[in-house]
Amino acid sequence: MNIYDISKKAGVSIATVSRVLNNSSKVSEQTRRKVLAVMEENSYTPNAFARSLGLNSMHTVGIMCADSSDVYLAQAIYYLERELRNNGYASMLCCTGYQLEEKEKYLQLLLSRNVDAIFFVGSNFVEDTPERNGYLYNAAKKIPVFLLNGHLDAPNIYSVLCDDYQAILDITNEVLRTGSERPIYLYRSLSYSGRRKLAGFTDACLEHGLSFEEERSFLCPVSLDNTRVFLTALEEKGVSFDSVITSDDELAAGAVKYALASGRRVPEELQITGYNNSMFSTCSTPEITSIDNRVEFMCTTAVSLLMQAFQHKNIPAKTVFSGTIIRRQTTRT
């Protein structure tokens, strides 16, 4: 039951229903009573945010992600859509790619559809500078904005994220404790989450007294083959490493391919860790030790927070939860 159904049942225009919701004086008392009666009969609760804006809620939420075919993002979309639907909301999906200009354009598209809120999934939506984050601030002026695995401090922006810093710190510590002396770190981007992860790796190395005279972290091309080639080239350049910590299972799966191709025994001669606990970690042989960053929990929490916000409840601007190490065959114990 949405505003369209109400208008139909009451035999009035949508604009009239909207006016009733907004206590406009332009509606006759008789009409107001009729509309309210229909709402009551159908236990209709108007969307609080839409109401405050005087818009007609479509009971639709936008989901923006860079690429819905990415394993991690695909899972998040699945859980978000399920939870939203269970709460009576439809999902409008927008895959933006990684360019700011495109993100802004697609955001306008969602806003023009009068969505009631937007979930930005993946920390690549948080840019480096306030100017480049302007599109998020602007969206938040109109509707609640949720950052899933990103964080930005601004009114009407809510962040739900895994503590990626702590997770990488913990897993690096574990690899160093079990004898690794020359760890390297592979990442695919320095998004908000990417920077947090890198800090976790660096701090663990510093805690163990490792020097940073030589470079230990590398932006690495994704795809199994590219990662394998990259590590082979690194070795040929004389970079010595006995563990590969990665920001992403796909990079770790590529590192496993490198180990198999170069004949280095895992985990005896080379430890490898992934992140996301995705199918890449179980599909590889040996199976990859990874971080479970609780995609399902993140999504159900975010939708639950949104529903509370719609009911005028005060919700936290930032919700951080911890990940868990899932130990498999690529690390020593």
Binding mask of the shown chain, residues 191 to 230, with x at each position contacting a copy of itself by CB under 8 A: ---------------------------------xx-----
Binding of a copy of itself by 61 (CB under 8 A): no
Please identify, among the stretches 109-117, 142-150, 167-175, 266-274, the one whose residues bind a copy of itself according to the rule CB under 8 A.
Answer: 109-117
Kindly tell me which of 100 and 199 has the beta carbon lying closer to a copy of itself: 100
Report, in Å, the least distance between residue 155 CB and a copy of itself.
27
Does 91 interact with a copy of itself (rule: CB under 8 A)?
yes
**CA–CA gap between residue 330 and residue 232 (Å, rounded):** 18
User: SS3 of 31, please?
Assistant: helix
282 binds a copy of itself (CB under 8 A): yes
Cβ(159)–Cβ(151) under 8 Å? yes
Give, rounded to a whole angstrom, the gap between the first and last alpha carbons of the chain.
56
The distance of closest approach from Cβ of residue 27 to a copy of itself in the complex, given in angstroms and rounded to an integer, is 16
- Considering only the stretches 57-65, 185-193, 195-203, 325-333, report the one whose residues sit in contact with a copy of itself under the rule CB under 8 A: 57-65
Among 18, 47, 57, 60, binds a copy of itself (CB under 8 A): 60
Q: Where are the alpha helices (DSSP H) in 184-314?
A: 192-207, 224-236, 249-262, 279-283, 295-310
- Nearest-approach distance from CB 151 to a copy of itself, in angstroms: 24
Taking 3-state DSSP, the helix, strand and coil percentages for the chain, each rounded to the nearest 5, stand at 45, 15, 40
Q: Least distance from C-beta 329 to a copy of itself, angstroms?
A: 12
Distance of alpha carbon 171 from its chain centroid, rounded? 21
Residue 93 touches a copy of itself, criterion: CB under 8 A: yes
Q: Which residue in the block uniquely carries the two structure tokens 């927008």?
A: 94
Residue 95 binds to a copy of itself (criterion: CB under 8 A): yes
- The verdict on 257 binding a copy of itself (CB under 8 A) reads yes
User: Rounded CA gap, 98 and 220, in Å?
Assistant: 17
Q: Does 260 bind a copy of itself (CB under 8 A)?
A: yes
Enumerate residues 6+ apart whose C-beta is below 8 A from 219: 187, 188, 189, 190
Paired sense of beta strands 318-321 and 157-162, if any: parallel
Give, in order, the Cα–Cα distances in Å from 115 to each of 49, 52, 104, 276: 10, 14, 15, 29
Q: Which is nearer to a copy of itself, 75 or 172 (CB)?
A: 75
> Could you tell me whether strands 145-148 and 157-162 are parallel, antiparallel, or unpaired per DSSP bridges?
parallel
Q: How far is the CB of 116 from a copy of itself (least distance, A)?
A: 13
Stretch of residues binding a copy of itself (CB under 8 A), selected from 108-116, 151-159, 165-173, 237-245: 108-116
Residue 261 three-state SS: helix
Q: Are strands 117-121 and 145-148 parallel, antiparallel or unpaired?
A: parallel
> Is residue 38 a contact point for a copy of itself (CB under 8 A)?
no
The correct pick among 31, 36, 48, 78 for binding a copy of itself (CB under 8 A) is 78
Neighbours of 107 (CB within 10 A): 22
Q: Which stretch binds a copy of itself (CB under 8 A): 30-38, 79-87, 147-155, 187-195?
A: 79-87
Interface with a copy of itself (CB under 8 A) = 2, 5, 13-15, 58, 60, 63, 67-69, 71, 74-75, 77-78, 81-82, 85, 90-95, 106, 109-110, 112-113, 224-225, 253, 256-257, 260, 279-280, 282-285
